[in-house]
Amino acid sequence: MSHLTVDLGGRPGLDCRGFCSYCYFKHVRETTAFGCRHCLPFKKGCDYCTRGVREGYEGFKDLRTVAEETLANLQMMSGDLDRVTISGGGDPSCYPEFYDLIELLGSMEVPLHIGYTSGKGFDDPGIADHLIDNGLSEVSYTIFAADPGLRRDWMHDPTPEASLAVLDRLCEEIDVYAAAVIIPGVNDGEVLEQTCAWLDERGAKGLILMRFANRTEQGLILGNAPILEGQRIHTVDEFQNLVTDLNERFSMKISGTPLGDPSIGSPFAILHEPDLLRKLPRVQKRASVITGSIAAPYIQRILSIRGSTSRVVAVRKEIACLITADDLAGVDLSKLEDVVIIPGRAFVHDAEAKEILSADGVDRDVLRGPDMLTADAETSMGMTRNEVLDKEMEGIAALINTINRYGR
């Protein structure tokens, strides 16, 4: 079975009827290349770590271009097509030829999935039935709040009543996974309770709560912190407790990012499975693992259980895949082994990482680890517990094998 992604193009803030007040891409500045796993060994900077990370692309593609690219991709695929996902840098609901696009893709008679929409482009509630009739089976839909006034004020949705009516209708017929960035004092507390109840009553499959990020260490790496000057943010523990409490009280699945998925026990659900932990390879050599501050204690515990005596080093950045050269520059080099493993998706050039982590005169080998060790809430929302555990087993085993192959 094969999965096709249809990329509509588009730009955050421009092809979505304007930035939401809390948007990650607000105030983004032109930045130099970060460096990443895709860069050539002798050159820092590629499309992914310069333009891609900022989603600095052109506007929406016209329908003819989308159709031609879709046909070309179909001709290169093998196996039966089982799903088509609509995505892009802009909001698909704001795509100028959205109605015709859905008819075109619906003619393929394959389940359609909208990877993300805010619904801000839906001015007519009748579009919901058009989507259903043409095979839409799943959508990720940002709600922010079930209060139209809050959607209007914070998402700058010009027709919030229509957007919520579309969401209401879709919940009746297809798999809807709602999402909301949670801003303390705005859409948490009683407002969030009402939003959860509204979704639960209408049959939404799940709700992903995203902690509002406002500082560099929380992942704002594009020179755009703070998004909202003076806005309070939840601590990681506060947010985890919030997610856990709501998940226990509503029938739909509620998870949160950066932590966690209470229904599955992730991230690192494997820590609750001693039999699976015993199946992981033993750690036989020494190497330092650098990661984000949230994952570090989990990874340290797992590696220690499997025999490691080396330190897992946490940087200030909370999320490992958003680690940059600036984070590595803040590491206490005296705590590092001669072999260092950085996250596979860290935004730093390999040569620069080695230079920074060898600045004390110790010529360290610096390697990239696996891309993922666990599933965050956005990934795990549509997964079973066994699927998450399989992903964790694969990623952690790969990390241990890297330590054993290259460590001292």
Domain spans in the chain, listed from the N-terminal domain onward: 2-257, 269-406
> Strand pairing partners for 120?
none
Under DSSP, the state recorded for 311 is P
- Rounded CA-CA distance 128/237 in Å is 38
How many H helices and E strands in the chain?
14, 11
pLDDT mean over 23-37: 86
**Helix, strand, coil % over all residues of the chain, rounded to 5:** 40, 15, 45
CA distance readout (Å), 360 to 285, 287, 288, 329, 350: 23, 17, 16, 11, 17
* Model pLDDT for residues 349-370, shown as the tens digit of each residue: 999 999 999 999 999 999 999 9
Mean pLDDT of 225-251: 96
Q: Which fold, 269-406?
A: Rossmann fold (3.40.50)
Burial 193-202 (b: 16+ CB within 10 A, else e): eebbebbbeb
Q: Is the pLDDT score of 262 beyond 80?
A: yes
Does residue 386 register a pLDDT over 90?
yes
How far apart, in whole angstroms, are the C-alpha atoms of residue 393 and residue 382? Answer: 18
Q: What are 82-128's pLDDT values in tens digits? A: 999 999 999 999 999 999 999 999 999 999 999 999 999 999 999 99
Sign of CA dihedral 180, 181, 183, 186: negative
CA distance 314 to 301: 13
9 pLDDT band (50/70/90 cuts)?
A: very high
Give the number of C-alpha atoms closer than 13 A to the C-alpha of residue 119, restricted to the C-beta side. Answer: 34
Q: What does the block give as tokens for 328? A: 């590595």
Q: What percent of the chain has pLDDT over 70?
A: 100
For 275-322, how does the pLDDT look when each residue is reduced to its tens digit (9 = 90+)?
999 999 999 999 999 999 999 999 999 999 999 999 999 999 999 999
Greatest alpha-carbon span in the chain:
66
Closest of 300, 271, 392, 351 to residue 42, by C-alpha:
351
pLDDT score for 379: 85
Domain boundaries 2-257, CATH class: alpha beta
Cα 400 to Cα 303: distance, rounded to the nearest angstrom: 8
In 30-138, which ranges are continuous DSSP H helix?
47-50, 63-76, 98-106, 127-133
Q: What is the pLDDT of residue 238?
A: 95
pLDDT digits (tens, 9 = 90+) for 145-183: 999 999 999 999 999 999 999 999 999 999 999 999 999
Q: Kindly report the pTM of this predicted structure.
A: 0.93
